[in-house]
Structure 1
Amino acid sequence: MAALTDNIFFCSFSFLVLLICTVLFIVKSFSVQLVNSETKHRTPPNPPALPIIGHLHLVGSVIPKTFQNLARLYGPLMQLRLGASTTLIVSNAQVAGEVFKTHELNFCNRPEYGSSDYDNYKGSSFINAPYGPYWRFMKKLCVTQLLSTFQLGRFTHVREQETKSLLDFLVQCSREAKACDLSPKFTALTNNIICRIAMSTTCDADQIHRVVRECLELGAKLSLGDVLGPLAKFDLFGYGKKLAKVMSEFDRMLEMITKEHEEKLDHKCSEVEEREDMMDILLQVYRDPNAEMKLKRNDLKAFFLEILLASTDTTSVALQWAMAEIINHPRVLKKLREEMDSIVGSRRLVKESDVPNLPYLQAVVKEVLRLHPSAPFVLRQSSEDCNINGYVLKGQTRTIVNVYAIMRDPQGWTNPEEFMPERFLDGDGTDQNLMQMKGQDLRYVPFGSGRRGCPGAALALTVIQPTVAALVQCFDWKVKGGSKVDTTEGSGFSMGLAKPLVCYPITRLDDLLSV
Structure 2
Amino acid sequence: MRKFSALHLLSPKRSRSFQPIRDEEIARMVKMIRDGAATDSNIVNLSKVLMTLISSIIFRITFGRRYDGEEDMSYKFHWLLAETQANIVSFLFADYFPLIGRLVDRLNGAWARLDKSFNETDAFYQQFIDENLHVSGASSVKDCSILDILLQMQKESSDITFDHVKAILMNVIVAATDTSVAAIVWAMTLLIKNPESMKKVQQEVRDLAQKKGFVDEDNIQKLIYLKAVVKEAMRLHPPAPLLHRETTAKCVISGYNIGAKTCVFVNSYAIGRDPECWENPDEFLPERFINSTIDFRGHDFELIPFGAGRRMCPGISMGAITTEQVLANLLYSFNWELPPGTNREDMDMDTLPGLTAHKKNHLCLVPKII
Give the structure-2-normalised TM-score: 0.91
The unaligned stretches of length 5 or more in structure 2 are 68-72
Q: Which amino acid aligns with 1:506?
A: K
Partner of 2:90: 221
CA contact (8 A) 1:190 1:315 kept: yes
Superposition pairs of residues 89-488 of structure 1, within 5 angstroms? 138-171=1-34, 172-203=36-67, 204-222=73-91, 226=95, 231-234=100-103, 235=105, 236-264=107-135, 267-269=136-138, 271-272=139-140, 275-288=143-156, 291=157, 294-426=159-291, 432-434=292-294, 436-480=295-339, 481-484=341-344, 485-488=347-350
1:248-280 deviations in whole A, cap 9, x for unaligned? 11211211111222223xx333x4556311111
362, 367, 370: which one aligns with 1:505: 367
CA contact (8 A) 1:488 1:499 kept: yes
Query: Which stretch of the first structure deviates more once superposed, 366-375 or 192-201?
Result: 192-201
CA contact (8 A) 2:15 2:318 kept: yes
Aligned CA distance change for structure 1 residues 383 and 326 (closer, same or farther; 3 Å): same
Q: Tell me the CA shift for residue 311 of structure 1.
A: 1.3
Following the alignment from structure 1 to structure 2, what is the Cα–Cα distance between the partners of residues 229 and 283?
36
Task: Say which one has the larger Rg.
Answer: 1
Residue 467 of structure 1 aligns to a residue whose secondary structure is: helix
Residue 451 of structure 1 aligns to a residue whose secondary structure is: helix
Following the alignment from structure 1 to structure 2, what is the Cα–Cα distance between the partners of residues 376 and 224?
24
Aligned CA distance change for structure 1 residues 223 and 502 (closer, same or farther; 3 Å): farther
RCO comparison, higher one (Cα < 8 Å, 6+): 2
1:344-402 deviations in whole A, cap 9, x for unaligned? 11342111110111110111001111110011111012233222233211222221011
1:315-371 deviations in whole A, cap 9, x for unaligned? 111111011011111111111122123221134211111011111011100111111
Q: Which amino acid aligns with 1:207?
A: K
Aligned residues: 359
Following the alignment from structure 1 to structure 2, what is the Cα–Cα distance between the partners of residues 224 and 467?
41
Residue 310 of structure 2 aligns to a residue whose secondary structure is: coil
Aligned CA distance change for structure 1 residues 347 and 394 (closer, same or farther; 3 Å): closer
Q: Tell me the CA shift for residue 159 of structure 1.
A: 0.7
CA contact (8 A) 1:222 1:240 kept: no
Following the alignment from structure 1 to structure 2, what is the Cα–Cα distance between the partners of residues 347 and 208?
34
1:91-125 deviations in whole A, cap 9, x for unaligned? xxxxxxxxxxxxxxxxxxxxxxxxxxxxxxxxxxx
CA contact (8 A) 1:191 1:205 kept: no
Q: Tell me the CA shift for residue 225 of structure 1.
A: 7.6
Following the alignment from structure 1 to structure 2, what is the Cα–Cα distance between the partners of residues 224 and 492?
18
Q: Tell me the CA shift for residue 223 of structure 1.
A: 5.0
Identity of matched residues, %: 29
Residue 25 of structure 2 aligns to a residue whose secondary structure is: helix
CA contact (8 A) 1:366 1:421 kept: yes
Aligned CA distance change for structure 1 residues 148 and 274 (closer, same or farther; 3 Å): closer
Residue 365 of structure 2 aligns to a residue whose secondary structure is: strand
Partner of 2:70: none
Following the alignment from structure 1 to structure 2, what is the Cα–Cα distance between the partners of residues 224 and 187?
32
Following the alignment from structure 1 to structure 2, what is the Cα–Cα distance between the partners of residues 471 and 389?
45
Q: CA RMSD in A?
A: 1.9
Superposition pairs of residues 64-79 of structure 1, within 5 angstroms? none
Following the alignment from structure 2 to structure 1, what is the Cα–Cα distance between the partners of residues 61 and 43?
30
The unaligned stretches of length 5 or more in structure 1 are 1-137, 427-431, 509-515
